[in-house]
């Protein structure tokens, strides 16, 4: 069998210790705060390792976003060593060491959740999903509990070596994302691992090992059992980390996108070229570019764009069925769409409020006569609404594209030029009113009576 078809069986894990001179990790590339935590744990007599994505990214010559640490110290032990520590999590108990805005996450080595000890501190659902898992163990057990081989790499602060338990170094070199253990069992334990497989493959430009990928489409429905709050956080990692477009395309390939955004499914086509799908590609490509340029991004804008065409469809249906004006039907539809979406991804209220503002402004941007254009320009969410209007113009063209061009020119114009632009609109509007005004019917002149 081709090695790419294989999983990494837990029973076959074999430790390989890679000394400092044979790997490329340097302490100068590790955050100062992470080093403080590693050294203090080590000085106190505990094992301390940089682990997971931080090690993986350093070996790939990438700058890690986070530096996570694994240790044999319990969360309570860690709290005694660090006054700036807080314990978080019920499902997985973790210690967060706070250095201002920088948070170093410290996890105690995980043990196996079977047996008498595991039964006391772990809990699984009938489908095999882990509900609680505070079972502590050794570093060897912790490596067996890691999800992917490229994440089962440990940088030892004691001798600066890298400990590789699952052939992660080889998979990094070959560009392979491979699960440790039986894929179906691991996905049932935590269905979010399916999303992580896709995210790592897109982020690292790797391929998912065939055996790791095979069960995903059939188990994608398990994501519907994941708490919506957790999936909101995962959606940000998937779509707003700089590789959102590639991640979205891969999620579609593995049937993983629909459980996150079920409202969008009816707008999907085989050629992936519906207006909704064009908008998805536009907004995700734009988000990737902003991340690459270190520009600020707001999840509300992305969600507003993604859900726009389902909103339009729903508003038209409500207006037709209820007889409401389009504006009233639009506002009802906006509430419906957001209420449905937050059931799968719990978008916080601070973002849903902005989504509504962006949507509502789309209806107002075509009304520019009188003082309306000036007032719209002063709206706090005008810029976001205009950027979205431009995207809609790219998808739909025609009058919408011309409207976006007008607003672009109006923003950049000087005071007198703006006044002239509005005057042209006012004149055109008045001419239309004159043409539409009904003329009074002429009174017929009385016909003279004919003499008999």
Least Cα distance to 272 among 287, 284, 259 occurs for: 284
pLDDT per residue over 163-205, tens digit each? 999 999 999 999 999 999 999 999 999 999 999 999 999 999 9
Residue 8's pLDDT band (cuts 50, 70, 90): low
Question: What is the structure's pLDDT at 430?
Answer: 72
For residue 114, the Cα-to-chain-centroid distance in whole angstroms is 33
Contacts of 235 (CB under 8 A, 6+ apart): 260, 345
Residue 111's pLDDT band (cuts 50, 70, 90): confident
Catalytic residue set? 66, 68, 147
* Separation between Cα atoms, residue 41 and residue 297, nearest integer Å: 36
Question: What is the structure's pLDDT at 127?
Answer: 55
Question: Structural domain boundaries of the chain?
Answer: 1-180, 182-260, 293-433
The edge-to-edge listing of strands for the beta sheet with 102-108 is 16-18, 162-164, 153-156, 48-51, 68-71, 102-108, 94-99, 85-88
Distances in Å between the Cα of 156 and the Cα atoms of 20, 25, 44, 54, 105 are 10, 11, 15, 13, 16
pLDDT per residue over 402-448, tens digit each? 999 999 999 999 999 999 999 998 887 676 655 555 455 555 555 65
Lowest mean pLDDT among 13-27, 73-87, 113-127, 308-322: 113-127
Least Cα distance to 307 among 354, 271, 238, 350 occurs for: 354
Q: Please give the average per-residue pLDDT across 324-353, as a whole number.
A: 96
Lowest mean pLDDT among 318-322, 384-388, 433-437: 433-437
Question: Which tokens go with 289?
Answer: 């570019």
Lowest mean pLDDT among 4-18, 290-304, 337-351, 412-426: 4-18
Q: Indicate if the pLDDT at residue 135 is higher than 60.
A: yes
Which ranges in 192-348 belong to alpha helices (H)?
A: 192-204, 210-213, 216-219, 228-239, 244-253, 257-260, 275-292, 299-306, 308-322, 326-341
- Work out the mean pLDDT of the chain and round it to a whole number: 90
Question: What is the structure's pLDDT at 440?
Answer: 52
Q: Indicate if the pLDDT at residue 134 is higher than 90.
A: no
Lowest mean pLDDT among 104-113, 196-205, 220-229, 255-264: 104-113
What is the CATH T-level fold of the domain 182-260, as seen in this structure?
Answer: Hydrophobic Seed Protein (1.10.110)
Distances in Å between the Cα of 237 and the Cα atoms of 231, 232, 234, 387, 422 are 10, 9, 5, 23, 43
Q: Which residue has the higher pLDDT, 288 or 450?
A: 288
Do 139 and 152 meet the contact criterion of CB atoms below 8 Å apart?
no
Do 87 and 95 meet the contact criterion of CB atoms below 8 Å apart?
yes
Can you give 37-94 as a three-state secondary structure string?
HHHHHHHCCCCEEEECHHHHHHHCCCCCCCCEEEECCCHHHHHHHCCCEEEECCCCCE
Long-range residue pairs from 393-402, CB within 8 A, at least 24 positions apart, any chain: 394/278, 394/282, 395/275, 395/278, 395/279, 395/282, 396/275
Residue 65's pLDDT band (cuts 50, 70, 90): confident
DSSP three-state, residue 152: coil
Residue 231, judged by CB atoms within 10 A of its CB (0-12, 13-18, 19+), counts as: buried
> For residue 36, what is the enclosing H or E element?
helix 32-43
Residue 223's pLDDT band (cuts 50, 70, 90): very high
Q: What is the pTM of this model?
A: 0.85
* Separation between Cα atoms, residue 286 and residue 391, nearest integer Å: 10
* Separation between Cα atoms, residue 355 and residue 362, nearest integer Å: 11
Query: How many other C-beta atoms lie within 10 A of the C-beta of residue 401?
Result: 16
Distances in Å between the Cα of 173 and the Cα atoms of 56, 58, 141, 155, 447 are 11, 13, 25, 18, 102
Query: How many other C-beta atoms lie within 10 A of the C-beta of residue 194?
Result: 28
Q: Please give the average per-residue pLDDT across 79-92, as a whole number.
A: 90
Residue 242's pLDDT band (cuts 50, 70, 90): very high
Question: Which tokens go with 272?
Answer: 């992936």
Question: What is the structure's pLDDT at 6?
Answer: 67
Domain 293-433 has CATH 1.10.3090.10: yes
Domain 1-180: assigned CATH number? 3.30.460.10
Question: What is the structure's pLDDT at 3?
Answer: 54
Do 113 and 165 meet the contact criterion of CB atoms below 8 Å apart?
no
Enter the DSSP assignment of 448. P
């Amino acid at each position: 069998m081709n090695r790419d078809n294989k999983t990494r069986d837990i029973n076959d894990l074999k430790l390989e210790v890679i000394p400092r001179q044979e790997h490329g990790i340097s302490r100068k590339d590790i955050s100062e705060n992470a080093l403080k935590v590693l050294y203090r744990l080590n000085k106190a007599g505990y094992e301390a390792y940089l682990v997971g994505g931080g090690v993986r990214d350093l070996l790939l010559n990438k700058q890690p976003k986070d530096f996570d640490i694994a240790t044999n110290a319990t969360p309570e032990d860690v709290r005694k060593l660090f006054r700036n520590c807080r314990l978080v999590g019920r499902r997985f108990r973790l210690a967060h060491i706070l250095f201002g805005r920088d948070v170093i996450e410290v996890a105690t080595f995980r043990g196996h959740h079977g047996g008498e000890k595991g039964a006391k501190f772990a809990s699984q659902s009938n489908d095999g999903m882990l509900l609680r898992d505070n079972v502590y163990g050794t570093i060897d057990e912790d490596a067996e509990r890691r999800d992917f081989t490229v994440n089962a790499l440990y940088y030892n602060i004691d001798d600066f070596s890298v400990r590789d338990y699952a052939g992660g170094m080889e998979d990094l070199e070959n560009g392979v994302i491979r699960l440790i253990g039986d894929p179906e069992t691991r996905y049932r334990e935590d269905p979010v691992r399916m999303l992580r497989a896709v995210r790592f493959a897109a982020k690292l430009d790797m391929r998912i090992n065939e055996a790791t990928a095979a069960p995903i489409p059939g188990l994608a429905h398990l994501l519907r059992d994941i708490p919506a709050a957790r999936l909101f956080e995962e959606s940000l990692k998937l779509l707003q980390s700089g590789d959102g477009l590639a991640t979205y395309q891969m999620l579609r390939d593995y049937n993983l996108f629909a459980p996150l955004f079920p409202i969008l499914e009816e707008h999907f086509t085989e050629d992936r070229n519906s207006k909704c799908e064009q908008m998805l590609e536009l907004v995700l490509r734009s988000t990737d570019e902003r991340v690459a340029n270190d520009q600020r991004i707001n999840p509300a804008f992305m969600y507003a764009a993604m859900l726009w065409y389902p909103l339009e469809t729903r508003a038209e249906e409500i207006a037709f069925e209820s007889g409401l004006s389009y504006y009233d039907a639009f506002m009802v539809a906006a509430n419906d769409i957001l209420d449905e979406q937050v059931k799968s991804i719990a978008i916080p209220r601070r973002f849903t409020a902005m989504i509504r503002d962006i949507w509502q402004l789309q209806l107002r941007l075509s009304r520019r006569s009188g003082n309306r254009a000036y007032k719209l320009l002063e709206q706090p969410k005008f810029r976001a609404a205009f950027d979205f209007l431009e995207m809609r113009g790219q998808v739909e063209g025609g009058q919408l594209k011309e409207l976006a061009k007008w607003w672009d020119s109006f923003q950049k114009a000087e005071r007198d030029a703006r006044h002239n632009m509005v005057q042209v609109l006012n004149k055109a509007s008045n001419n239309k009113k004159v043409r539409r005004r009904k003329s009074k019917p002429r009174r017929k002149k009385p016909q003279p009576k004919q003499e008999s």
